[in-house]
Amino acid sequence: MEIRLDWLGCATFRLTLGETVVFLDAYMDRVPTAPKIGLSAKDVRRADFVLVGHAHFDHIAGAELIARNTGARIIGSHESCRVMREQDVAANQLLPSQGGERHRLAADVTVRVFPSLHSCTWTTGSLSAMEASTGDLGLCEDERAGVAARQGLGSTIGRRAETGDSAANDLRAHLATAVGSGQTGGPLAYLIETPQGSIFWQDTSGCWTGVLRELRPDVAILAAAGRGNLDGEPIQGSLADFIRIEAELLQPRTIVLGHHDNWMPPVTPEGGTDVSPIRTALAGSLPAAKLLEPGYMDGTLLLG
């Protein structure tokens, strides 16, 4: 079996596992000022499954079109499945999961579902992968809401955009129509197991360390955005530190990053996040691991 990976922007990927096509998230139809991917959800004609990491628009939007047009089944949280039902996706195409499930994707391919965590969006973190963020430890939810209010964080990331320019106006218009939920629904992480090896994927910068250290995948696809969430607390360090810790727990042979492009201007940096600090951190911590840096729609050979 030959296993190929296409990065489709943000945290969305397409895995081709022999004859089986699996989308990891589905968000390709982005704000018009974002770089073009080369594929739209409405144009996808071949898909067997869509795995949804969580229910925010920048991950789930597009899954409804792929499911309706191809008959693909969607694996995601109960909130993700609720959003899909509202979009007229048939109930028999939905596989609600919360962690602990194993689903068969093909005769010799399965996926295990694990509970995960979202990045700490209630407190600001640097858009630089190298700059450390500290503090905000041990807070209850009402205190975290107070932090968000003081820092001017709205209910959606889009409110961070400045008002008055065309890019911000485009973003607000996009957010008004994008399919998704204001709730994560409980982020999930996935381990896809094949005869050629295993692939771990998560679409946001959060993790339970006790889960990750037991998995040992051959390939790890890791989100590189926001302030990392380690066991429910914001990382006391940088994004590069967070990715390094995840990689040390997982010990993969190959690492791929996601969620680091300029997926939502004007909030995200032009040119995307500079991943050179992550590259340096990984080279120092796991020198034997290979960091793949594919462009959009590259069809990168992962395994096989």
CATH code, 252: 3.60.15.10
Q: CA 290, 296, 298: angle at the middle one, nearest 5? A: 65
Q: Is residue 111 part of a domain?
A: yes
In a structure prediction context, what are the per-residue pLDDT tens digits for the chain, which is 304 residues long? 999 999 999 999 999 999 999 999 999 999 999 999 999 999 999 999 999 999 999 999 999 999 999 999 999 999 999 999 999 999 999 999 999 999 999 999 999 999 999 999 998 776 788 999 999 999 999 999 999 888 876 544 445 555 567 878 888 889 889 999 999 999 999 999 999 999 999 999 999 999 999 999 999 999 999 999 999 999 999 999 999 999 999 999 999 999 999 999 888 889 999 999 999 999 999 999 999 999 999 999 999 8
Q: How far apart are CA 4 and CA 17, in angstroms?
A: 7
pTM recorded for the entire structure: 0.95
Give the span between the Cα atoms of 26 and 185, in whole angstroms.
16
Q: Which run of H or of E encompasses 283?
A: helix 276-285
**138-178 confidence digits (pLDDT tens):** 999 999 999 988 887 654 444 555 556 787 888 888 988 99
Element (H, E) at 140: none
Total domains, the chain: 1
Q: Tell me how far CA of residue 57 lies from CA of 80, 159, 181, 182, 222, in angstroms.
A: 10, 14, 6, 8, 19
Per-residue pLDDT of 180-213, as tens digits, reads 999 999 999 999 999 999 999 999 999 999 999 9
Q: Is residue 135 part of a domain?
A: no
Residue matched to tokens 């020198």 = 287
Distance between CA atoms of residues 242 and 123, nearest Å: 16
Q: By the 8 A CB rule, do 89 and 69 touch?
A: no
Q: Is position 295 within any domain?
A: yes
The whole domain housing 107 covers 3-121+178-303
Domain for residue 142, yes or no? no
The number of residues making up the chain comes to 304
Contacts of 121 (CB under 8 A, 6+ apart): 153, 157, 226, 227
Give domain status of residue 156, yes or no. no
Q: Does a structural domain hold residue 168? A: no
Which DSSP letter does residue 42 get?
G
Q: Which residue has the tokens 């949280």?
A: 77
Asked whether the CA dihedral 44, 71, 217, 121 is positive or negative, the reply is positive
Is residue 85 within 8 Å of 105, Cβ to Cβ? no
3-state secondary structure of 165: coil
Tokens of 98: 């919360």
Is residue 249, in this structure, part of any structural domain at all?
A: yes
Residue 53 is assigned to a structural domain of this protein: yes
- Run of H or E including 76: strand 73-76
Q: CA 95 to CA 74: how far, in whole Å?
A: 6
pLDDT at 103: 98
Show the tokens assigned to 225: 């955005």
Q: Residues 185, 80: contact at Cβ < 8 Å?
A: yes
Judged by DSSP in three states, 242 sits in helix
